[in-house]
Structure 1
Amino acid sequence: MVTIREIRFTLLLHLCDVFFPFVLPYRNRIVGMMNLKFGFRGLE
């Protein structure tokens, strides 16, 4: 028996595997925008 929670977890992992390569190029841009918005320094 597979529980609904396990199915949800595996689906979440698959979604992360699918979307992570697309999110990765934008991560630096998002971090830069957050730094500008909140005035963080030295988070490189």
Structure 2
Amino acid sequence: DLISKWPISFSIGVAMVGEERDFDALYRRADQAMYTVKNKGRDGFEIV
């Protein structure tokens, strides 16, 4: 079974566009959200 040979984990960070329109700041927020998920144990998502 392919999945049992190579387990896959997904951690996703999503930053919603609000008043902040700067791409770099938006990217940093999404990146921070992703690491928040990883620190909680992975396999999840965080929306900021």
TM range (shorter): 0.3 to 0.5
Larger gyration radius, structure 1 or structure 2: 1
* Structure with the higher fraction of residues in helix conformation: 1
Higher share of residues assigned strand: 2
TM-score by length of 2: 0.39
